[in-house]
């Protein structure tokens, strides 16, 4: 099911992977820094993920186990066949919304304080997001592809977490890249050479 992208595929992880594949092609053609691009979009991706989780609330989907907690989510009977008789459920999408906002704040503060750069901002985002997603997957009760008792996303996030931590370790001590942009020349305008200094004596009046 993970490969059936016309049926959803990996959802958010698949969307991020596909988006970065397209960005990689464009950045490579234009000769731009791929790591600097990844670092710059990391906080925005986390915020976008947080906003996207609001759709789960409107659709009453991807909620967690039944709960008696005061912030438990009330689900309409038509959408809660998984556990008969239960009324309130763990609002896992709310947990992920708040977690992603925290991730956006974390990577922003860390980059400003430690001037990470070199792809480490994006790697920190991946590591932090993966930790939260693994926790949230343990609370969810919706149907999912299972392998050896774990959901598919558990394995995906485990690989992402390990890869991000290895990258951060390997890039330890690497400073932020300096991105130099060529000076832009307005369309239709051509640079004029400096006028040559006059060698003839000035006329006296």
Residue 82 is predicted with a pLDDT of 54
Nearest to 35 by CA among 20, 15, 13, 17: 20
Q: Would you say residue 52 lies in a domain?
A: yes
Total domains, the chain: 1
How many whole angstroms separate alpha carbon 123 and alpha carbon 152? 21
Residue 83 is predicted with a pLDDT of 57
Nearest to 153 by CA among 165, 166, 136: 136
Q: Would you say residue 195 lies in a domain?
A: no
How many whole angstroms separate alpha carbon 103 and alpha carbon 46? 7
Q: Would you say residue 32 lies in a domain?
A: yes
Q: Would you say residue 72 lies in a domain?
A: no
Query: How much of the chain, in percent, has pLDDT values that exceed 90?
Result: 51
**195 pLDDT higher than 80:** no
pTM over 0.95: no
Q: Would you say residue 73 lies in a domain?
A: no
Domain that holds residue 13: 5-56+91-170
How many whole angstroms separate alpha carbon 39 and alpha carbon 186? 29
Q: Would you say residue 26 lies in a domain?
A: yes
The answer to whether residues 119 and 172 touch, using CB atoms and an 8 Å cutoff, is no
Confidence band, pLDDT 50/70/90 cuts, at residue 114: very high
**1 pLDDT higher than 70:** no
| Segment 110-135 mean pLDDT | 95
pLDDT, one tens digit per residue, over 19-78 is 888 988 999 999 999 999 999 999 999 999 999 899 888 888 888 999 989 999 888 877
Q: Would you say residue 188 lies in a domain?
A: no
Residue 96 is predicted with a pLDDT of 96
Residue 51 is predicted with a pLDDT of 93
Q: Would you say residue 104 lies in a domain?
A: yes
Query: How much of the chain, in percent, has pLDDT values that exceed 70?
Result: 75
Confidence band, pLDDT 50/70/90 cuts, at residue 18: confident
Confidence band, pLDDT 50/70/90 cuts, at residue 11: low
């Amino acid at each position: 099911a993970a490969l059936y992208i016309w049926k959803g595929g990996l959802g958010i992880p698949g969307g991020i992977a596909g988006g970065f594949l397209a960005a990689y092609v464009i950045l490579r053609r234009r000769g731009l820094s791929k790591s600097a691009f990844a670092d710059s979009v990391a906080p925005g991706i986390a915020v976008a993920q947080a906003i996207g989780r609001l759709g789960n609330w409107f659709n009453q989907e991807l909620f967690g186990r039944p709960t008696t907690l005061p912030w438990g989510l009330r689900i309409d009977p038509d959408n809660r066949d998984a556990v008969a008789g239960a009324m309130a459920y763990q609002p896992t999408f709310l947990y992920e919304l708040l977690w992603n906002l925290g991730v956006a704040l974390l990577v922003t503060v860390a980059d400003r304080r430690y001037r990470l750069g070199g792809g480490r901002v994006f790697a920190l985002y991946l590591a932090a997001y993966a930790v939260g997603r693994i926790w949230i997957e343990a609370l969810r009760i919706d149907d999912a592809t299972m392998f050896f008792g774990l959901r598919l996303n558990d394995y995906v996030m485990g690989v992402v977490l390990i890869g991000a931590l290895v990258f951060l370790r390997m890039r330890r001590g690497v400073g932020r890249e300096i991105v130099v942009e060529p000076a832009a020349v307005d369309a239709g305008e051509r640079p004029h050479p400096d006028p040559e200094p006059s060698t003839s004596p000035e006329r006296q009046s």
